[in-house]
Amino acid sequence: MPLRPRHLRPRHLAHAILAVLGGVSVVHAATACGEYAAPSPFIAASGGAGGSGGADGGVGAGMPAVDPTLGGPCTVDSQCDDAVACTFDACDAMLSRCRFIPDDSSCQNAVVCDGQEVCSNKNGCVAGAPKTCSDGSPCTIDTCDAATGGCLSEPRDADGDGDPDIHCAGGDCDDEDPLVSSKQGEVCMNGADDDCDGVVDEPDCGKPTNDDCFAPLALAKPGSYAMSTVAAKLDYGSSCVLVNPAAARDVVAAVSIPSGPVDVTLTARTDSPDVTVTLSGTCAQPGSEVACSAGFPHATSGRVAKLRAHGVGGVTPSVMPVYVATDSPTAITLRYELGPATSAPANETCGTSALLLDGVPQKAPLVGIVKDLVSGCASATGELVYRFELSEPRDVDLFASSIDGDGRPALSLRTEGCALATDELTCNVAPNAGESAHVFRHALAPGVYFVAVAATAPTDALLTLSTSPPTALPIDETCLDSPALVPGVTREVALALHQDDVDTGCLTGGVDAAYALELAAPSDVLVVGRYANADAAAVVLALPGCTAAEEVACAVGNISPTRARAHALAAGSYRVVAESVTAQPMALTAFVRPAAPPKLVPFADACADALTIGPLGGFFQGNTSNAKADFDSGCDQGKQPKGSAPDQLLRLVLTSPKRVVFDMQGSGYPTLLAVRKGPACPGMELAKACAVGYYPDRSFLDLTLDAGTYFVQIDGFSGQYGPWFLDVFLADLPP
């Protein structure tokens, strides 16, 4: 999808043209796989359609191909508009013809594995073909890694038991049965070769423990108990199912219930496999199920299932069966807890909300709760709803922390309407285990408000409301009358006293600060946000209203720095927004240069034809698929052969010290970017001037460089290659 809306398309670029030498223009085309191809020459022909709104028409028999970037006659840029959103439109002063230059970067989406999108002069953005990773072997399952864009090749394992088929160099002699493989233990007396060693029921076979109702593990009193599903089989059903039910196996415990009624809480944990826990009234009777829990990711590691049965037991002690199921053989920790009899929470909806008092912590038992409300902050459990009322404006802080540490709490502050998604004022999820979810509002107006509490896994949370005298919003809190952000100058952003005001849809649940960015002429803009470890943050470029419809560019991440880019923005007023989930400080910089069309890099394969970067920087796009492997890099993966990945070379000459930013976001493969200092080519690699782009945001460098000659090496990590983009921005150093 394009990064900019139609109304921000460039219309007044100053002489944005491709290099036209001897009547030959360099353009590009999409390959059959949807990836950027090496540029191909088209001969510029005279005549054509002639209108300013489109490219030249057809080609006569025997005539050379028409340059698709050329349009009709013009004298000024405003006469050129091809109605294609991904092209740079300008009047070519040399030819007095409109020039429409495709910009592939404006077509890129956030999905790496669907191929490299390209810009067509006739059709606009054209989807790329999904990346093909097949190695031709029937013994491997080859997929594209969504996180990196690289290929993953895994041994064929049809039953998903972690052991490849024996016909493909694995050890699984029955790849249709997940209970049989070389990783399984031999089960006694079942007449099967469970461990695939060619022997059935050998002497060292294992016997399952607590596999059925006849040999349960006795839970005589509350505490933690060790169980194992090794050698177990599936005997009993449950309304809570595993991620991989075909591989399910279960074990049984017998929980001793004292004279009641009492509350029973059962928590099953594993290191990795999925797990469910079920409490039943009578063993082997499916209709007697009392409660069950599916598995959830634990707040720190592994999986957890937790159920709570309210008011069980009678006047005399009793025993109830517990089924614990997993989808692979594993050790289990089963915790049994008893408590006074309570009723299930009644405040599951807005209409049954519970009163929340200022300064009085309230326990929110998020176990077995149904999801009723829609929130912008994701949670796995259902929510409990509370309400409070303000008679005068007050600052409001809401905190939710996990008592048992099993899940991370999520908070949603809602208006009096409560039930609709549009009633949510803001939300927040605890970013890490052991931390609280926190919502803050300045001078919240008098009225009734609702608070929904949920979590990423079943847990008991502690909810606290704290109000204080109203305070004024910081000057950079909203997009109205925002202070200026000076291009090229880093601004330190303190977010501790900020709240969540800006909602472009970029980041939900983060506090924000907004700044004005004024563009006097059409410009290319790169916004860079640096933030603390363990934070999730975003940078947004938007029109002054900062609504979802006015968002120009957005970038979200949890690896600093995060960058948002937009090319050829029209002159005018914009807003740059910094957002943080944890309200930690950020450093925010907007880099700006005059708008210019992308410059294709068809060759630049070695020192002799290194392409020169101009004094204002620029935007470059190329493809290393047909390049040679000429240079090495200090940050490449170890033990790579010399010059393992094809590379291209650009040259940068600085006449004075500068801050120079190199950004390769949108490139189609795991890139490697290195900066070397001359004057002789290829120069020596600078310290801390090599960056690998493992993730889709690709390589990024922010360097302070002295005057001199530098060489910019476009390379690939671990031998990889493909289509690439490079944005170069230069800024003056502070005095």
Residue 269: give its domain's CATH number: 2.60.120
CATH number at residue 373: 2.60.120.380
pTM of the model: 0.81
Name the phi and psi angles at 128, rounded to 5.
-85, 160
Please tell me whether residues 619 and 532 are part of one structural domain.
no
| Residue 232 sits in the same domain as residue 330 | yes
Residues 381, 443 within the same domain: yes
Residue 555 placed within a domain: yes
Q: Examine residue 173 and state whether it is found in any structural domain, yes or no.
A: no
- Helix then strand count (H, E) for the chain reads 0, 47
Q: How many CA atoms lie within 13 A of 389 on its CB side?
A: 5
For residue 198, being part of any structural domain is answered with: no
Tell whether 499 is covered by a domain.
yes
**Residue 263: burial class (beta carbons within 10 Å; 0-12, 13-18, 19+):** buried
Burial status of residue 161 (CB atoms within 10 A of its CB: 0-12, 13-18, 19 or more): buried
Q: How many residues does the chain have?
A: 735
Last residue of a domain, one of 594, 611, 634: 594
CB 715 within 8 Å of CB 631: yes
Among candidate residues 112, 147, 182, the one where a domain is terminated? 147
Chain-centroid distance, C-alpha 33 = 25
Q: Which pLDDT score is estimated for 18?
A: 33
Cα–Cα distance, 250 to 65 (Å, whole number)? 70
Give CA–CA dist 648/601, Å, rounded: 9
First to last CA, the chain: 40
Looking only at the bridges linking them, the beta strands covering 140-144 and 124-126 are unpaired
CA 581 – CA 340 distance, rounded (Å): 38
Q: Two tokens at 451?
A: 């608070």
Which token pair is 611? 């392409």
378-432 pLDDT, tens digit each: 999 999 999 999 999 999 999 999 999 999 999 999 999 999 999 999 999 999 9
Residues 5 and 142 in one domain: yes
d(CA 73, CA 55): 11
> Which positions of the chain have pLDDT values less than 70?
1-65, 639
Residue 70 and residue 38 share a domain:
yes
Give backbone dihedrals phi and psi of 600, rounded to 5 degrees, phi first: -75, 145
Phi, psi of 364 (to 5 degrees): -115, 100
Cβ proximity of 623 and 106 under 8 Å: no
Is the same domain home to 545 and 613?
no
- Give the CA diameter of the chain: 100
Domain membership of residue 172 (yes or no) is no
Final residue in a domain of this structure, among 316, 340, 364: 340
What is the rounded radius of gyration, in angstroms, for the C-alpha atoms of the chain?
31
Whether residue 357 sits in one domain with residue 317: no
Pair (584, 632) in one structural domain: no
Instruction: Please check whether residues 257 and 320 belong to one and the same domain.
Output: yes
- Does 637 share its domain with 572? no
- pLDDT tens profile 633-650: 889 887 677 778 999 999
In a domain, 414, yes or no: yes
Q: What is the DSSP string of 347-389?
A: -SSGGGPEE--BT--EEEEESSPPP----SS--SS--EEEEEE
Residues 115 and 124: their CA atoms lie apart, in Å, by: 16
Provide the pairing of β-strand 618-623 with 599-601. Answer: parallel
Structural domain containing residue 15:
1-147
Instruction: Say if residue 9 is in the same domain as residue 96.
Output: yes
Gap between the Cα atoms of 119 and 141, Å rounded = 32
**482 part of a folded domain:** no
pLDDT for residue 235? 94
Whether residue 130 sits in one domain with residue 1: yes
The answer to the question of residue 167 being in a domain is no
pLDDT tens-digit readout, 657-688: 999 999 999 998 899 999 999 999 999 999 99
**Count of structural domains within the chain:** 5
Six token digits for residue 573: 């007023």
